[in-house]
Structure 1
Amino acid sequence: MKKFVLPLSAVLMATVFGLLFRHSLFSAQGVLEINSDPPVLIFINGQKTGLTPFKKEFKPQKLTIKLTPEEDPEKVLWQGKVPITSSAITLIKYQFGQERQEDYGEILTLNKIPDRKNGALLVSSYPDKAIVNLDGETKGYTPLLLEEVSPGHHSLEINLDGYNNSIIGLNIAAGFQLNAEIKLAKITTNQDQEETIPEEQVLTEKTVTILSTPTGWLRVRSGPGTGFAEIAKVFPGEKYPFLAEDEGWLKISLEDETEEKQTEGWISSQYGEIED
């Protein structure tokens, strides 16, 4: 069986972003943190600063950041301006591939808002028009502003057909808006082909019963992995024809009532039981 397994770094898993300094809540300084794979050269306001990983305190201001290969400082991998907010962290995290379309990462910044009871979340992506899921609930498409977000830990997931999805753990703080800029990596031709060539044992006489889930529903994806787009939702107790199995994923047949045709999708085997 020829199967492509997404590396952990290809899906941004559980990047918990602590917004405020625990040791200096009222600090006048802010922190800039830059992480990358592979390590790259950092320029801040035109000055060479060192290699990633990088973490340093700055007074509140806007900084111009440029990231380049250490061996070729003239080649710009990423460049932009980021704000430094007092008592908060500004995070730049990137994975650079061999081709620009394979690059992915996130830029997380903060600004203060009048609402002292809640936080806010502004999500943008490249490319845009990606699906935004917060704590398992679809909220809309990028760019998207979510106001009155409860303080605490949240899970942000960004999905777009043809691109690896991004899953980030966020810590929302009252009185702050978190701005999340997400760069998605395009699924390459070879990767796409390998992901869709699993060995499948088709057993059409069997059915799959959807088991209980923490959310009360279960995502159906276009392929056997979390990097594939969500195409439908199914619910506990429902039964669907079983088509195939592929290491932790079950392929089922869905009837599209609007178009009266059968569609196929994949669910996690953790929440599906095969029955004869």
Structure 2
Amino acid sequence: MRKLKLAAIVSISLLLLIGLVFFMIGYLRPKVAGIYITTNPSATVFINSEQVGRTPYRATRDPDEITVELIPESFQVPLAPYETKVTLVAGVETVLQRDFGEIEETSAGEIISFEKVDKDETSLSVVTIPDQAQLLIDGRERVFTPYKTSSLLPGEHALVISANGYKERVVEVKTHDGYKLTAIVKLAKEKESEEEQPVASEAATQDQDKEEEKELVEILTTPTGYLRVRAEPSSLGNEVSQVEPGETYTLIETDEKTGWFKIEYLPALPAQAGQAGEEAKVGWISNQYARKVAEKITPTPTSKPKATPTPI
């Protein structure tokens, strides 16, 4: 009987010790931070220059400041990529939403983050781009940004942000006891109507018609430092060459379905004594990393076809 009691005491002690060990491991283990990214349209996500997935994207990471780069997937009109720095806080999920436009000014979005405050306090801070935007909270309180308050109750709230010349944006947030919610909201500029756009004079139009302009394509910055040239207007097409940011090429045509550009990446070589000439080489590039420009001269590409390019 005495041995049974001793065994029971030892077993209980071991269980308590194991429980204490697991508790201390969980207590001492550093908390992770979360990030949730959504975009319109979908985008490829790079964190600290490393491709990590596509939107919607959710992950946990060590608390730290990270650089987020979003490359929109556009098959019609080229859209502006987005890059920003985000500070991830332990035990908190930071939310990043981005609506892409053709340029930065016509893009919109918000970053929602939290930081700990007094446990009985519920705080809200709203910062906008542009500054001094009108903020309507839950359809009642009308103020101007930047704005901070600690008088809100915990729960869901609707923020309506507007400014002259910008599209109105509605942001749904949820505040919590013991946390300060910070919303950084960027508004998209309204596009000018046709009536507001300047109309060229008849004389200027005639002069422009006299000049035979050649449409070019300029290569934009890419995550890899180069842009692939493919045999077909698709990322599945065979790669035939590479071009680099800052270079310009003659535009041959634009694919109506994908929006990709067909360019002359290597000009024709005239025939020489004893040698036959070579035809110009053409291929397709993604419109996500290129834009149309107009010039009156024929560009001279600086890049050359590269053998066995390294895939990404």
TM-score, length-scaled by structure 2: 0.48
Q: Deviations over 1:53-86 (max 9, x none)?
A: 2100112222111222469xxx972222212223
Given the alignment, which residue of 144, 147, 150 partners 1:147?
150
Q: Which runs of 5+ in 1 are unaligned?
A: 1-25, 194-276
Q: Counterpart in 2 of 1:88?
A: 92
1:35 aligns with 2:38: yes
Classify the secondary structure of the residue corresponding to 2:85: strand
Classify the secondary structure of the residue corresponding to 1:156: strand
Amino acid at match of 1:166: R
* CA distance in structure 2 between the aligned counterparts of 1:191 and 1:169, rounded to whole angstroms: 33
Q: Counterpart in 1 of 2:300?
A: none
Q: Counterpart in 2 of 1:45?
A: 48
1:160 aligns with 2:136: no
Is 120-129 or 38-47 further displaced after alignment? 38-47
* CA distance in structure 2 between the aligned counterparts of 1:96 and 1:125, rounded to whole angstroms: 17
1:169 aligns with 2:172: yes
How far off is 1:32 after superposition? 0.5
Amino acid at match of 1:78: Y
Classify the secondary structure of the residue corresponding to 2:105: helix
After superposition, the Cα gap between the structure-2 partners of 1:191 and 1:90, relative to the gap in structure 1 and judged at 3 Å, is farther
Q: Counterpart in 1 of 2:83?
A: 79
Amino acid at match of 2:186: K
Classify the secondary structure of the residue corresponding to 2:193: helix
* CA distance in structure 2 between the aligned counterparts of 1:132 and 1:55, rounded to whole angstroms: 29
Q: Deviations over 1:219-243 (max 9, x none)?
A: xxxxxxxxxxxxxxxxxxxxxxxxx
> Retained in 2: the 8 A contact 1:27–1:87?
no
1:188 aligns with 2:203: no
> Retained in 2: the 8 A contact 1:118–1:150?
no
How far off is 1:40 after superposition? 1.7
Q: Which runs of 5+ in 2 are unaligned?
A: 1-28, 197-312
* CA distance in structure 1 between the aligned counterparts of 2:156 and 2:113, rounded to whole angstroms: 16
How far off is 1:129 after superposition? 0.7
> Retained in 2: the 8 A contact 1:156–1:168?
yes
> Retained in 2: the 8 A contact 1:82–1:109?
no
Classify the secondary structure of the residue corresponding to 2:83: strand
Given the alignment, which residue of 105, 126, 130 partners 2:129?
126
Q: Counterpart in 2 of 1:267?
A: none
> Retained in 1: the 8 A contact 2:128–2:186?
yes
TM-score, length-scaled by structure 1: 0.54
After superposition, the Cα gap between the structure-2 partners of 1:191 and 1:118, relative to the gap in structure 1 and judged at 3 Å, is farther
Give the length in aligned residue pairs. Answer: 164
Q: Which has the larger radius of gyration?
A: 2
Q: Pick the structure with more helix per residue.
A: 2
After superposition, the Cα gap between the structure-2 partners of 1:182 and 1:89, relative to the gap in structure 1 and judged at 3 Å, is same
> Retained in 2: the 8 A contact 1:131–1:138?
no
After superposition, the Cα gap between the structure-2 partners of 1:161 and 1:61, relative to the gap in structure 1 and judged at 3 Å, is same
After superposition, the Cα gap between the structure-2 partners of 1:57 and 1:175, relative to the gap in structure 1 and judged at 3 Å, is same
> Retained in 1: the 8 A contact 2:159–2:171?
yes
Q: Counterpart in 1 of 2:101?
A: 97
- Provide the aligned C-alpha RMSD in A: 2.5
> Retained in 2: the 8 A contact 1:32–1:91?
yes
> Retained in 1: the 8 A contact 2:129–2:186?
yes
How far off is 1:38 after superposition? 1.6
Classify the secondary structure of the residue corresponding to 1:189: coil
